[in-house]
Homo-oligomer: A and B are copies of this chain.
Amino acid sequence: MPNSDHISKQFDAELEAIRANVLQMGGLVERQILSAIESLITGDVAMMNRVIDDDHRVNAMEVKIDEACSHVIARRQPTASDLRLVMTVVKTITDLERIGDEAQKIARMAKLLSQKHGLSMPRYHEIKRTSEIAVDMLHKVLDAFARLDVVMAAQVVRQDEQVDTEFQAIMRYLITFMMEDPRTISLSLEILFIAKAIERIGDHAQNIAEYVIYMVKGRDVRHITVEEIDQEIRQ
């Protein structure tokens, strides 16, 4: 049946386009985080403004991919693994969009900090390192999504603990810093919220990792432990 073959090829092409758009959106979001952190450290206000302004591009991609998913469901009636892909995409782009929001928040806070306090802030080194773990998680989870790689997705789930540990360390340091000089409290809280935004980026990457495992294995792993996930992917 050449006709149904034709339809099936079109369908594949549509799914492929959706997948490519998700990776493109993920790449944009990754650059937004990197620029937000870089601008925080260098005090480059033009770069902060670019991050803030570019958030609408992330939002527009979410809306566009969402529409493409609805379109595919309505027109192609996907089932089984195709349907799981589409549902995974619908959820993934929500988390990507919220990572974009966190990057925008970091850029806004960087702007406030650059106006108020000059450029030498406590714990920027640790902030940078934590953001590198979060960006690595995002990068890996997008790879895992592209390659249907559950082992890599499970690594991302495990990596989230590192981000949480780093966040706790930053918080403990800032508490000491504030206690030694209470005049730094307001500044320290702003840095704490930046650290919190990075921690949340890690959480979102972890969410996406769990969707990827669901997509590939057809089994929902959102509410089980890391050990259970490891067992699951070995099956």
Contact = CB atoms under 8 A, between A and B. Distances in A.
A21 interface: no
B178 A182 contact: yes
Query: Which interface residue of A60, A67, A185 has the most chain B CB atoms within 10 A?
Result: A185
Interface size class of A (residues with CB under 8 A): 35 or more
Interface of A: 56, 59-60, 62-63, 66-67, 69-70, 73-74, 77-80, 83-84, 87, 90-91, 94, 171, 175, 178-179, 182-183, 185-186, 189, 192, 196, 220, 222-223
B223 A63 contact: yes
**Chain A interface SS verdict (over half):** helix
Nearest to A79: B74
Contact of A185 (B74, B84, B178): B178
A175 B182 CA distance: 9
> Nearest 6 A-B pairs (CB), nearest first?
A59-B223, A77-B77, A179-B182, A74-B79, A182-B182, A63-B220
